[in-house]
Amino acid sequence: MNIRKLAASMPLVWKLNISITALLLFIVGLVEGLLEPLAGALLAGLNNGFQPWHEVILWGVSILIPSILCSCVLTKFLATKLGRLARVSTALAQGNLNVRCPVAGNDKDAFDVLAQSFNAMAEAIEKQMNNERRLLADISHELRTPLTNMTIAAELLPRREKAEERAVVIQRLNKEISHMNELVSLLLSQAGDKCVLSADEDRIVNLNELLQELTDDFALQGKADKKRIEIMMHEPMTVHGKPLLLRRMFSNLLSNALFYTPANGKIEIRAEILTARIIVSIRDYGPGVPEEQLEDIFRAFYRVDNSRARTSGGVGLGLALVREAVIAHNGSVKAENADPGLLVTVVLSLTNCLPKPNCGTVQAHA
């Protein structure tokens, strides 16, 4: 193995230990093998010859000079490592989100681990900033359409002389104003929900009872279109989290599934425990989502082109809140096409089970 690669893969503590040991061996060899015999030969012609205090001076000089050199090398080494991190952090603070620290992939080196952690933080910041820019662009796009329609209606209104034509334009103008008010209200509600839900205290939540309660509620909502919801739970499940946030999360998933489920269709909910995790899957039998857009549906204000028309009344905030709620509970969420329909899977951590859960297979007819 290459000596340089071997040295790069060693832990920092071993590098220091080997360096210090080598320095001590060098000092001992230098004094005992070279300096003492040389000093003895040079001082042999003097009256007193080689004295014990001469040996003390030799050892002092032999230790001092290599120690100073070793300190300079070690200081240079540490300054180089920390200097790279300082330069990268400065560039990151100045807005260069693409900058990263060079890493060797050595998990035994504390500096390399620090560089990897810094890179992970930089990537998270870059992703967050990109998400915020994208969210701002989505909000701007969402507001531009009603503003454009309102401008056109306002320009047309003075040109309409007949009362019937003016009424049509005014009706259109009122519709766009109503849409803008709804959109702004949703944005304010979203911000308010985050504040309220962030203050929600963590506690043990019986997931069986929560899912069953939501199933009954949404089955009642789908009664007019004869939609039914089937829920399958065979074991007790509890999670440690925010009750309001968990309720809102599963409520949004069920609301989305209910909306896209055709009349006389069904929604399937399955909850089970797998390797100390709770897996909750919700499947509808609607149109599904194009494969390339499965990740994007969890973005705020995102609509799938072929199924999320403006006439649906939604603005794409529900699934965005789902992802935020899952992240807040250190879980994960994934969407995939079930052919037919969409399958959304939520993974949460399991806590201690309750003794008497509401388990079994239940069918809630709407």
Q: Which residues contact 71 (CB under 8 A, 6 or more apart)?
A: none
Annotation: CATH topology of 134-198: Helix Hairpins (1.10.287)
How many other CB atoms are found less than 10 A from the CB of residue 142? Answer: 20
Per-residue confidence (pLDDT) for residue 62, from 0 to 100:
65
Task: Tell me the pLDDT tens digit for each residue of 152-175.
Answer: 878 887 887 778 888 888 888 888
How many other CB atoms are found less than 10 A from the CB of residue 312? Answer: 12
Per-residue confidence (pLDDT) for residue 192, from 0 to 100:
58
* DSSP letter (8 states) at residue 159: G
CA dihedral 311, 315, 319, 322 (to 10 degrees): -130
Task: Classify domain 204-365 by CATH architecture.
Answer: 2-Layer Sandwich (3.30)
Higher pLDDT, 295 or 137: 295
Q: Count of alpha carbons within 13 Å of 149, Cβ hemisphere only? A: 17
For residues 280 and 348, the answer to whether their CB atoms sit within 8 Å is yes
Domain with CATH 3.30.565.10 in the chain: 204-365
Across residues 100-110, what is the average pLDDT?
Answer: 76
Number of helices (H), then strands (E), in the chain: 9, 8
Task: Tell me the pLDDT tens digit for each residue of 174-204.
Answer: 887 877 776 676 666 656 555 555 555 778 8
Per-residue confidence (pLDDT) for residue 120, from 0 to 100:
87
Domain with CATH 1.10.287 in the chain: 134-198
Confidence of residue 35 (pLDDT cuts 50, 70, 90): low
pTM, two decimals, is: 0.53
Confidence of residue 310 (pLDDT cuts 50, 70, 90): very low
* DSSP letter (8 states) at residue 355: S
Per-residue confidence (pLDDT) for residue 302, from 0 to 100:
65
Task: Tell me the pLDDT tens digit for each residue of 322-363.
Answer: 888 888 888 899 999 988 889 999 999 876 444 444 444 445
The Cα 207–Cα 327 span in angstroms is 17
Q: Above 90 in pLDDT, residue 51?
A: no
Q: Which residue has the tokens 């080196």?
A: 109
Amino acid identity of 253? L
Across residues 100-119, what is the average pLDDT?
Answer: 80
Task: Tell me the pLDDT tens digit for each residue of 259-297.
Answer: 888 888 899 999 999 888 899 999 998 888 888 788 878
